[in-house]
Amino acid sequence: MFTDSLSAIRLVNNLEHHTKTKHIDIQYHFIREHVTNDTIQLSYINTKEQLADVLTKALSGPTFKYLVRQINLLPIEK
């Protein structure tokens, strides 16, 4: 799984409980559990290369076009 959040990667990989993260309910530790069990691996990806952003964020024209090309999204023919 790719993420552009180094904080999220550090939080998942650090199994100690910190005072700032005590409020996170145990049910939301799904990813941490899978990382611990080696069923999911978190990898950092630069924000400019985050392909999911094309589906989740408003992007500038050039960034949108770049990411659309990266995922091979084609226009629907009429």
**Domain residue ranges of the chain, discontinuous segments joined by +:** 1-45, 46-78
pLDDT digits (tens, 9 = 90+) for 35-54: 889 999 999 999 888 988 88
Average confidence score pLDDT of the chain: 84
- Taking the model in full, what pTM does it have? 0.66
Strand partners, 44: 3
Residues 18-44 as b/e (b if ≥16 CB within 10 A, e otherwise) read eeeeeeeeeeeeeebeebeeeeeebee
Q: Is 4 within 8 Å of 46 (Cβ atoms)?
A: yes
